[in-house]
Structure 1
């Protein structure tokens, strides 16, 4: 009896000791279940276009498209980036913004053909990064007077400040204000409102673009898509579709050199072609204004 009692007490003592021992975990807790998720920032690579890419265009489709009939041929438009667009995409862009360009022409005197041509060229018909991300269709930088929203983009330099708009139409309006408010563009407004050729060369002469071929590329877009028809609509004139015209041979005499005026010529374009000032052209030809007629013979030397 005594042995049974001692054994029972011993068993109770052992059980009591085990009850106070700590529990040892054999697996570690998953920190992902107990901690907040970590948000990782991914730095996007910045595209750095070369200086030769900016503001240039290559035309690959020679046929003149119309609204009702067009080709799906592609063009390479190079603004702040190199983008490939179809003829239909360009026509859709023109249809979307032609009224904005015409309205700006009424208010500022800038040919709608010039506005639309520059917009197509510099925004990649609305597909370029600045036009998509900032509704900036003309690559207008902030400049010191800008107090509105902006976006950083690498163009001539890394992380430059470009204006950001709520709507693309604001970009068109700002572009018109940019040209009308800068003294260096004042001479442009002496040209006829439908003289898109002089405007194109004038923009280059005023320092708008560094690309030497900028005027020719702008004119090529205007004539391919017949953008000058919108100038005629604003001015209430009959529109004559543009055709490629080959200049007549220059006639020479002993010490007088003459040039025959063809469609699209202006005093400004002729002055640049023969390296003579507009005033000298007027004096040599007894001209009272800048008006020229097709087939007119102009003394250029």
Structure 2
């Protein structure tokens, strides 16, 4: 009996040992189960607060910064009482020089004269008539005009001015205006490269009432070297104009101003930051009256 009991205990011990050894020696960790959590963590995006969200956003911010820091501008004042920068004038010339040269070939009007007048009359395309009616030369309706028009107060209240579908129509009409009227016939006897004679001839023929119109026009042509486009059409070599100090209204340091409708000594004193008494002293004025087209010293 004791012998049987001993054998039973021995069998239980052996079975127990065998069970423990099988767990330790035969079980191996599953590599897939161990690596899965690590792989998931690596694949998650890493957020860095200072990192740009996208290239597009950076480009947009850069563009905005550039536009907001365009630098200081030099202000010019046109006869239409609008202010433009030198950069705007140069862009205007670049845009319409081709039209002016083409019209010179067809009509014989110097491209420099066309461009100079357009800049002066339209404020380099920013004046009310050019913006609202594509009228870059301030041409009024006159009796023969049957096209669209716009009302604008110039020398008189609500005057009729021509309206065009495109600025090029205004340039072409300007050429036709000069070539079709007998009073401008003498201009076409002048040399096509003599812009100074053309500028003076326009005033003599009654194109403008401003007594300083020729000086302003010549000043613009020389300042922006507009006569080089005449040379290109004529196939001639161009010698840049040497700019000398002149009294022209279309300049950053303008010292003179042409009176327009609505001006008073008080408004001009505020505009140019000068006292009324100083204005009168500079211009030898005995009273406060002003006349349209009058040129007065303001600086």
Using the size of structure 2 for normalisation, the TM-score is: 0.57
Name the CA distance, whole Å, in 2 between partners of 1:118 and 1:149: 23
| RMSD over equivalenced CA pairs, Å | 1.5
How far did 1:78 drift? 1.5
Counterpart position of 2:76: 75
Counterpart position of 1:109: 108
Counterpart position of 1:94: 93
Counterpart position of 1:234: 233
Counterpart position of 2:283: none
1:129-144 map, 5 Å:
129-144=128-143
Name the CA distance, whole Å, in 1 between partners of 2:244 and 2:138: 33
* 1:161 counterpart SS class: strand
How far did 1:72 drift? 3.5
* 1:78 counterpart SS class: coil
Counterpart position of 1:158: 157
Please list every run of at least 4 consecutive aligned residues from structure 1 whose deviation after the TM superposition is greater than 4 angstroms: none
Name the CA distance, whole Å, in 2 between partners of 1:99 and 1:232: 13
Structure that is richer in helix per residue: 2
Name the CA distance, whole Å, in 1 between partners of 2:240 and 2:178: 27
Name the CA distance, whole Å, in 2 between partners of 1:72 and 1:92: 14
Counterpart position of 1:84: 83
* Structure 2 residue 209 is the aligned partner of structure 1 residue 205: no
Counterpart position of 1:223: 222
* Structure 2 residue 186 is the aligned partner of structure 1 residue 193: no
Name the CA distance, whole Å, in 1 between partners of 2:147 and 2:118: 21
Name the CA distance, whole Å, in 2 between partners of 1:209 and 1:87: 24
Name the CA distance, whole Å, in 2 between partners of 1:97 and 1:138: 13
* 1:162 counterpart SS class: strand
1:45-56 map, 5 Å:
none
Counterpart position of 2:147: 148
Q: Is the 8 A contact 2:122 2:129 kept in 1?
A: yes
* 1:173 counterpart SS class: helix
Q: Is the 8 A contact 2:100 2:111 kept in 1?
A: yes
**What does the per-residue CA deviation read over 1:13-49, in whole Å, with 9 as the maximum and x for residues that have no partner?**
xxxxxxxxxxxxxxxxxxxxxxxxxxxxxxxxxxxxx
Q: Is the 8 A contact 2:223 2:243 kept in 1?
A: no
Name the CA distance, whole Å, in 2 between partners of 1:133 and 1:182: 26
How far did 1:156 drift? 1.1
* 1:105 counterpart SS class: helix
Name the CA distance, whole Å, in 1 between partners of 2:147 and 2:243: 44
Name the CA distance, whole Å, in 2 between partners of 1:212 and 1:167: 31
Residue segments in structure 2 that go unaligned for 5+ positions in a row: 1-71, 246-299
Point out the structure with max Rg over C-alpha: 2
Work out the number of aligned pairs and report it: 175
Name the CA distance, whole Å, in 2 between partners of 1:90 and 1:245: 20
Name the CA distance, whole Å, in 2 between partners of 1:229 and 1:101: 12
* 1:136 counterpart SS class: coil
* 2:185 counterpart SS class: helix
How far did 1:73 drift? 1.6
